[in-house]
C-alpha cells in the first residue's frame, strides 16, 4: 500500500512552523464533520467512491475492437476528460508513441498548430476517435469533434460514425443525442461523477485498456485505498490526516501546496491533481493553490523558492520505492572527484537519495513537507493515488465549507466566448467584449 509520512509537518521535527499533536487532536471534531459528509454521502457527486465496483466488460470489449482495427487512438476532451487519461498514459507507458501501438494522441485544446501536426502524423483510415464530454457540449471538444466528423465523413460517408466512441452522460446532452441518432459506440459517465473525479470511470479506463493496462488493477487499487480512508480516527486515516494538515497550514498562510513526484511518468499525475485541487477548492475567496512539479528536475527550478522564498508552501513529495528497471553508474573517469563518487551506485539510488535530501533540507529550514511513498508506478498503485487525492480533496473542501464539486467561476468566460462566436442569447456579451477593447488601446506598449 501507499503510505503517508507526515513527520516533517510536525513541530517536534521542524520546529515552530509545524503542527503539534495537540493541535491535530483539537481539530478532530471538524475533521469528523468532514468525514461524516463523505461517509453519509451528503453530496450526490460522491458517487466517484463507487467507481471501483463498476462493470468493465463493455470498456474491455470496445478497447479490444479498437486495438484490433486501429493504429491510432485520438482522444478529444479537455479538463478532467483529458488530464486523467493522460496521467494514466504517461505513468504506465512512458514514451508510448515511440514504442507502442496504437499511437495515442490527446487533443485537449483548440490550438490549430497541434491538430495540424496530429493530422499530419495519423492515418484517419486507421484511427479511432474517442470524444469525451460529460455535458456533450464543451466548446473545445465539440469543435474538434466537428472537424474530425467531417474528415471521417469524407472517408466513410454514412459509416463515419463507426470510427467514433463517445464517452458522455448516459441520458442527456448533444453527444448522447448524436449517439442515439447514429447508433455510435458509447460509454457512460455516471451522473454523480464530476469531470475532475472521473478518471476511474470510462473516461480513463478505456484509454488504459487501449494501451494494454488492465483497468481492473486501477479499480482494485482505488478500492483498497478507499477502504483505508474509511477509518474514522484521523490518526489512522491518511486522507483525513493530510486534509486536516493542509487545511490547517492553509489557515496559517501556507496556501500553496506543491506536489513533486520523483518520476517523469507522474508529471501528468501532478497536473491531474492540480485541476482537482484548484477547481474543487477555489471559490468564495477561499482555496489552496496547487503547484505541479517533478523530481529531481524541479530541484533545479523550484527548490530555491521553496527553501528561501516566502513561508507560503507545503511540499508533498511522492517517493517511488521500486522503479522496475535500473541502471548502474559505471566506473569511468576514476580520477575525478566531481564524478567518481557516483560510480557503483544506481540511478534509483541517486533519485531516492535526492528525494530524501530535499525533504530533509526543507525540514531543517523549518519548511513543512510530507512524503507519500508509492511501492511502484503500476496500475494498482496509480489507482490508489487517484482515489487517495480525490478523497483528500473532498475532505478539504468540506473543511473549507465550500462545495468541492461545482465550478461556478468559469461560466462568465464561457458566456463571453459564446457571444463572440455568435451563439443565440449571448448578444449582450459580445457587445461587452467589444466595449472592453476600446478601453485597452491606450495601455499598450
- Active-site annotation, residues: 279, 300, 414
Position among 33, 44, 65, 146 found at the interface with its own copies (CB under 8 A): 146
Distance, CA of 404 to CA of 277 (rounded, Å): 9
Ranges within 7-26 binding its own copies (CB under 8 A): 7, 10, 12-13
Contact 166, 185 (CB under 8 A): yes
Which one of 61, 65, 227, 421 is in contact with its own copies (CB under 8 A)?
421
Sheet of 127-132: strand order equals: 103-107, 72-76, 127-132, 164-168, 185-188
Q: Does 220 bind its own copies (CB under 8 A)?
A: no
Q: Considering the rule CB under 8 A, would residue 297 count as an interface residue with its own copies?
A: yes
CB-wise, 61 or 421, nearer to its own copies?
421
Measured from the Cβ of residue 17, the count of other Cβ atoms closer than 10 Å reads 17
Instruction: State yes or no: residue 90 binds its own copies (CB under 8 A).
Output: no
Does residue number 203 form part of the binding site for its own copies (CB under 8 A)? no
Q: Which is nearer to its own copies, 60 or 352 (CB)?
A: 352
Q: How many residues interact with its own copies (rule CB under 8 A)?
A: 155
Least Cβ distance, residue 295 to its own copies (angstroms): 8
Residues 169/177, Cβ–Cβ less than 8 Å: no
Please identify, using beta-carbon distances, which residue of 309 and 401 lies nearer to its own copies.
309
Figure out which of the listed residues 28, 30, 169, 282 binds its own copies, where binding follows CB under 8 A: 282
When the beta carbons of 32 and 406 are compared against its own copies, the nearer one is 406
Q: Least distance in Å: CB of 335 to its own copies? A: 10
Q: Which of 128, 275, 369, 384 binds its own copies (CB under 8 A)?
A: 275
Q: Is there binding between residue 407 and its own copies (CB under 8 A)? A: yes
Q: Are 191 and 169 in contact (CB under 8 A)?
A: yes
The only residue of 52, 190, 194, 265 in contact with its own copies, by rule CB under 8 A: 265
Among 33, 251, 409, 427, which residue sits at the site for its own copies (rule: CB under 8 A)? 409
Give the CA-trace dihedral at 202, 52, 288, 84, to 10 degrees.
-30
Q: Considering the rule CB under 8 A, would residue 172 count as an interface residue with its own copies?
A: no
- From residue 372, alpha-carbon distances to 13, 388, 391 in Å are 17, 11, 15
63, 76, 78, 165: residue in contact with its own copies (rule CB under 8 A): 78
230 binds its own copies (CB under 8 A): no
Query: Do 381 and 2 meet the contact criterion of CB atoms below 8 Å apart?
Result: yes
Question: Is the bond into 274 cis (omega within 30 degrees of 0)?
Answer: no
- Rounded CA-CA distance 55/252 in Å is 44
Q: Which run of H or E residues covers position 432? A: helix 427-440
Cα–Cα distance for residue pair 145/184, rounded to 1 Å: 13
- Please give the full DSSP string across 340-357, using - where no structure is assigned: HTTTT-BHHHHHHHHHHH
Please tell me whether residue 300 binds its own copies under the rule CB under 8 A: yes
Q: If binding is defined by CB under 8 A, does position 274 make contact with its own copies?
A: yes
- 379 near its own copies, rule: CB under 8 A: no
Cβ neighbours for 191, distance < 8 A, ≥ 6 positions apart = 44, 47, 169, 170, 171
| Residues 166, 175 contacting (CB under 8 angstroms) | yes
Residue 418: burial class (beta carbons within 10 Å; 0-12, 13-18, 19+): middle
Q: Which of residues 147-166 bind its own copies (CB under 8 A)?
A: 147, 149-150, 153
Pick out residues in 34-73 that bind its own copies (CB under 8 A): none
180 binds its own copies (CB under 8 A): no
Shortest Cβ distance from residue 398 to its own copies (Å)? Answer: 17
* 368 binds its own copies per the rule CB under 8 A: no
Site for its own copies in 333-352 (CB under 8 A): 333, 336-339, 341-343, 345-351
Amino acid at each position: 500500500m501507499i503510505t503517508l509520512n507526515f513527520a516533517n509537518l510536525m513541530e517536534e521535527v521542524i520546529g515552530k512552523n509545524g503542527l503539534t499533536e495537540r493541535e491535530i487532536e483539537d481539530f478532530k471534531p471538524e475533521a469528523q464533520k468532514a468525514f461524516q459528509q463523505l461517509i453519509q454521502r451528503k453530496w450526490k457527486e460522491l458517487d466517484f467512491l463507487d467507481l471501483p465496483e463498476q462493470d468493465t466488460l463493455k470498456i474491455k470489449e470496445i478497447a479490444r475492437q479498437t486495438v484490433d482495427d486501429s493504429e491510432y487512438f485520438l482522444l478529444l476532451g479537455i479538463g478532467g476528460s483529458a488530464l486523467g487519461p493522460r496521467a494514466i498514459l504517461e505513468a504506465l507507458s512512458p514514451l508510448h508513441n515511440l514504442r507502442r501501438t496504437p499511437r495515442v494522441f490527446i487533443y485537449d485544446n483548440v490550438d490549430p498548430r497541434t491538430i495540424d501536426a496530429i493530422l499530419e502524423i495519423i492515418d484517419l483510415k486507421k484511427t479511432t476517435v474517442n470524444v469525451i464530454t460529460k455535458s456533450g457540449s464543451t466548446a473545445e471538444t465539440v469543435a474538434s469533434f466537428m472537424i474530425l466528423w467531417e474528415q471521417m465523413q469524407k472517408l466513410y460517408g454514412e459509416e463515419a460514425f463507426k470510427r467514433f466512441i463517445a464517452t458522455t452522460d448516459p441520458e442527456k446532452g448533444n453527444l448522447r443525442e448524436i449517439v442515439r441518432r447514429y447508433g455510435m459506440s458509447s460509454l457512460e459517465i455516471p451522473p454523480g461523477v464530476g469531470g475532475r473525479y472521473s478518471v476511474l470511470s470510462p473516461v480513463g479506463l478505456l484509454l488504459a485498456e487501449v494501451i494494454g493496462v488492465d483497468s481492473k488493477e486501477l479499480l482494485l487499487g482505488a478500492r483498497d485505498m478507499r477502504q483505508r480512508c474509511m477509518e474514522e480516527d484521523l490518526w489512522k486515516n491518511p486522507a483525513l490526516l493530510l486534509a486536516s494538515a493542509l487545511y490547517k497550514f492553509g489557515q496559517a498562510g501556507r496556501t500553496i501546496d506543491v506536489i513533486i513526484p520523483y518520476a517523469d511518468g507522474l508529471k501528468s499525475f501532478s497536473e491531474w491533481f492540480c485541476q482537482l485541487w484548484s477547481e474543487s477548492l477555489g471559490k468564495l475567496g477561499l482555496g489552496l493553490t496547487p503547484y505541479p512539479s517533478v523530481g529531481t528536475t524541479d530541484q533545479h527550478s523550484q527548490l530555491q523558492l521553496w527553501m528561501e522564498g516566502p513561508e507560503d508552501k507545503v511540499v508533498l513529495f511522492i517517493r517511488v520505492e521500486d522503479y522496475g528497471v535500473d541502471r548502474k553508474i559505471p566506473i569511468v573517469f576514476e580520477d575525478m572527484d566531481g564524478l567518481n563518487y557516483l560510480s557503483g551506485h544506481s540511478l534509483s539510488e541517486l533519485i531516492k537519495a535526492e528525494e530524501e535530501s530535499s525533504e530533509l533540507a526543507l525540514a531543517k529550514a523549518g519548511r513543512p513537507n510530507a512524503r507519500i511513498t508509492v511501492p511502484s508506478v503500476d496500475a494498482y498503485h496509480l489507482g490508489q493515488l487517484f482515489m487517495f487525492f480525490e478523497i483528500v480533496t473532498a475532505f478539504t473542501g468540506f473543511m473549507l465549507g465550500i462545495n468541492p464539486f461545482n465550478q461556478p467561476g468559469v461560466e462568465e468566460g464561457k458566456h463571453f466566448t459564446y457571444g463572440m462566436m455568435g451563439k443565440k442569447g449571448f448578444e449582450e456579451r459580445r457587445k461587452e467584449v467589444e466595449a472592453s477593447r476600446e478601453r485597452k488601446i491606450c495601455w499598450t506598449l
